[in-house]
Amino acid sequence: DRVKEYRSELNGTRTEFKRAKSSPDSDRAALLAGASGRSNSSTSNDQRARMANATASLQASSARLEESRRVCMDTEDVGVNILQNLASQRETMLRSRDRLDDADSSITESRNVLSSMSRRMATQKMLLVGIAAIIVVVIAIVLLVKLSGPSPATPVDKDRDA
């Protein structure tokens, strides 16, 4: 089966080769004339027109590409500037956070000192009130004793006065 296919393909190729060998001038003329049978100068003008259109299109594309590259570079510069600004702002925020943490710890320490001072003040106030109460009681007792004088029921010892 395969051998038959190869033989038929070989015969077809031999026939094609003989035909190409026998008429090289006719194929060359067909190639130069073009597919529609136009003359050589007409084909040349068409090719020049197509080439001019292709060149114009290529130049326009190059200009657009160059403009796109310029826009891309400008965008990259803006992006770099934005990143630098963001880095600077980040540093500022970190410093502010550190300062805020320091202030927070100072406020906490101050609150503890004030609380301790308040407790001491309350303790000292209670102590002062207690001492004042004792002094008032002692003064009241002394006044009571002085004002009441010697009681008539108690005999006065003459030995004690001497």
> How many whole angstroms from its chain centre is CA 23?
76
The answer to whether 83 and 74 are in contact (CB under 8 A) is no
For residue 37, the SS3 value is coil
Phi-psi bin for 34: left (phi > 0), alpha (psi -120 to 50), beta?
left
Q: What would the pLDDT profile of 2-47 be if each residue is shown by its tens digit?
A: 778 888 888 888 887 777 666 656 655 555 555 454 555 666 788 8
Stated pTM of the model: 0.42
- Give the separation between CA 161 and CA 159, rounded to whole angstroms: 5
> How many whole angstroms from its chain centre is CA 135?
71
